[in-house]
Amino acid sequence: MRNLSSNNSQGKRYQLTINNYLLLFFSVVALLLAACTTGATAGQTAATPSAVAVASATPTVTPPPPPPRVEYTPVPLDTLSPIIVQRFPRRGETLAPNGTIELIFDRGMNESATESAFTLLAAAEPPATVAGAFAWQDEGRTLVFTPAESLAQAATYDVVLTQAAQAADGAPLAEPFTFRFSTPGYLEVSQVIPADGTDNVETGATITVMFNRPVVPLTSLAEAENFPQPVEFEPALSGAGEWLNTSIYVFTPTEPIPGGTTVTAQVKSGLTDAAGQTLLPADFTWRFTTQPPEVVFTNPSDGQTLVPIERPVQVTFNQPVDPQSAVDHFELSGGGGLLGGGAVSGDFNIVDNTLTFTPTERLAFDTTYQVTVEAGVTAAAGGQGMVSPYSFSFTTVPLPRIVGTEPSDGQADVWPYTDFRIIFNAPINPATVMAHVAMTPPLPITPTLVYTYYSPWDNTFSFSFDSKPSTDYEVRLSPGIEDPYGNTTRENLTVRFRTAPLDPYYQLRTSDLVGTYDAALPATLFVGYVNINTLNLNLYRLDPQLIFRPTWEWNDYEPNSADLIRQWTERLEAPADEQSFQPIDLVEGGGRLEPGLYYLSTESPQVSDRYFGGNRHVLVVTETNLTLKAGQKDALVWATDLATGRPMAGQEVTFFDDNNRQLG
């Protein structure tokens, strides 16, 4: 091979423009990377990855120098120069460290001249020539260059073929041929889960290792048994590893990892990728610490009240615990006053991560107990014990008593249809309540048949008694209502209350907002009412065009005072709290209304809501009944006399569509 000259050759020389752009590009990249990279040493050329376990194990890389500058000599225009039709590695491909470089020409070449024109350079400052051997194939059309030694990993190389290369007929290259390629980088651990330095890792957590390139091939499950198991643990862990895909390895423990233990995981150097071309250059080591045992749930909960006296105490840990260790560090105390008294004896049952303590005897009523789990409880798999003690307290149920009622004694505005509710301080036996209840007026049916409901959530007992409005009631509760343990209430309680009257209400007894009425009959409506004694009415004539208003707009309709026909007040009489009905004559003395449209508005001083239903009505007073039969393109109307039912001739009928537009 010959050395490349710079600028001292004879004749006019041209520098390839593309190399100038590449020089500028790589100079800018070098400046940017130098500004962003910390801790890089001057002259660093190797991309050797670090063995420190981090979320991303990407090594610091020094950018390569720009490609070499190659001389260019113009050739005569009539020269038929040889052409390189293919090269290996192709554009964008990497070359294995033990790979070869191939140049394929369009015709046979002068082998000695072409070999002398070929150079392989390691991209460095200064560039280093790579020695190797040549071979020719395809009758001198394919040049194969094999480096004398394996190329470096994660390195950049330049192939240069000057114009000294000639075809077998002596024709030189039209211009120099150069290209740049890289060798594959090192196999790297790109991420680990748990990450290095992670604390409180669950003892059953899987350990995941992700590599930057495939380590195992895509193959059958049977062959997967021979795949490498790349991770070693200290202390040793029981479990099995599997490859989720070609580059992700997952280790699943078959037994819990000891709690509170720092685990050192390591991927040994020398692990190769699936192609056997790149390897892990150094041991990759990281550490994580499992969570020590701790209490995550208790039953009863801390501060809970109304705890049954026969309730076992449960303590749940975040992992399976050593049974004897859990027993040795547990204590239930109390019973001698608030947190006084000694330890309570009982039996233990430990299953997996839950300790259950059942006292030998029932706990005392209305007593606060303290549960303490001392530090030091060890996991079933061993390791560090629980770091801090855990304690909680609870209070047992008191003896039963009545703490309130709804309605309460003396209440005078009770909803007319109320139930009666008894509030207890603790759970009771609902079957024992009604035998100790008496009422005045008496219950409408026997106490055993009254509808009752007991709520264990708030310890309330309710029963219905067909209450009436404006009525005085007396409920007598005698002693003897039992709790689940047979203890009884001692209160002899009397509750007196009065229900409120029904709310005032009235409604015009019409079928709808708009009604049709026979002009030949007296104009009379009926009103239904409760606790109403005065009804004010206003009757107006109504413009026929207003009949097209949507129903909801009538709530805000304000008639024109000039259209008022009659204004009057009706006196309504009825027993209190009873619904009654009364006819209303729209014409004084019970007369008839002339055919036309009318609007009737009503209001009562006893009712404040002007928007409640039934206080307005639109009347269509007519002598004619219309029956309509409509088709897609035509309509037929029968007009008959409302009084006689006979057809009426000579009537003018107007049709409107859904948008109130006149059709004919």
pLDDT at 48 over 80: no
State the architecture of 14-182 in CATH terms. Sandwich (2.60)
Task: Tell me: cis bond preceding 407? Omega within 30 of 0 counts.
Answer: yes
Answer positive or negative: Cα dihedral of 269, 273, 276, 277. negative
For residue 209, the tally of other CB atoms under 10 A from its CB is: 24
**For residue 381, how many C-alpha atoms fall within 13 Å in the half-sphere facing its CB?**
24
Query: Same CATH topology for 189-290 and 295-396?
Result: yes
For residue 440, the tally of other CB atoms under 10 A from its CB is: 12
* Total-model pTM: 0.65
Query: Please, what's the b/e burial string for 323-338 (b: 16 or more CB within 10 A of its CB; e: otherwise)?
Result: eebbeebbebbbbeee
Q: What is the average pLDDT value for the chain, to the nearest integer?
A: 87
Confidence of residue 256 (pLDDT cuts 50, 70, 90): very high
- Given this model, what pLDDT does residue 16 score? 33
For residue 518, the tally of other CB atoms under 10 A from its CB is: 17
CA angle 291, 292, 295 (to 5 degrees): 105
pLDDT at 521 over 90: yes
- Given this model, what pLDDT does residue 40 score? 33
pLDDT at 395 over 50: yes
- Given this model, what pLDDT does residue 610 score? 60
pLDDT at 293 over 70: yes
CATH number of 506-622: 2.60.40.10
pLDDT at 6 over 80: no
User: What is the tens place of the pLDDT at every residue in 218-245?
Assistant: 887 778 888 999 999 999 999 999 999 9
pLDDT at 206 over 60: yes
- Given this model, what pLDDT does residue 613 score? 55
pLDDT (average), residues 333-359: 83
Identify each DSSP E strand in 92-230 by its residue range.
Answer: 101-105, 118-122, 128-129, 132-137, 142-147, 156-161, 177-182, 189-193, 198-201, 207-211
pLDDT at 339 over 70: no
Long-range contacts: 234-243, Cβ < 8 Å, 24+?
Answer: 234/263, 234/264, 234/266, 235/261, 235/263, 237/263, 243/215, 243/216
User: What is the tens place of the pLDDT at every residue in 141-185?
Assistant: 999 999 999 999 889 999 999 999 999 999 999 999 999 999 988
- The residue ranges of every structural domain in the chain are 14-182, 189-290, 295-396, 402-498, 506-622
- Given this model, what pLDDT does residue 448 score? 58
| 295-396: CATH topology | Immunoglobulin-like (2.60.40)
pLDDT at 209 over 90: yes
pLDDT (average), residues 296-324: 97
pLDDT at 281 over 60: yes
What is the number of helices (H) and of strands (E) in the chain? 3, 43
Higher pLDDT, residue 56 or 357:
357
Among 225, 280, 290, which Cα is nearest to 257's? 290
Higher pLDDT, residue 328 or 184:
328
pLDDT at 119 over 50: yes
- Given this model, what pLDDT does residue 447 score? 57
The share of the chain scoring above pLDDT 90, in percent, equals: 73
Two tokens, residue 662: 């006149």
pLDDT at 336 over 60: no
The share of the chain scoring above pLDDT 70, in percent, equals: 88
Higher pLDDT, residue 593 or 548:
593
pLDDT at 335 over 80: no
| 189-290: CATH topology | Immunoglobulin-like (2.60.40)
- Given this model, what pLDDT does residue 46 score? 34
Contact 481, 433 (CB under 8 A): yes
pLDDT at 43 over 60: no
CA angle 84, 86, 87 (to 5 degrees): 100
Residue type, 465: F
User: What is the tens place of the pLDDT at every residue in 10-21?
Assistant: 333 333 333 333
- Does the domain at residues 402-498 carry the CATH identifier 2.30.29.30? no
Two tokens, residue 360: 């030998």
- Given this model, what pLDDT does residue 221 score? 76
Give the β-pairing of 284-290 and 198-201. parallel
Residue 211 burial (10 A CB sphere; 0-12, 13-18, 19+) = buried
Confidence of residue 41 (pLDDT cuts 50, 70, 90): very low
- Given this model, what pLDDT does residue 449 score? 60
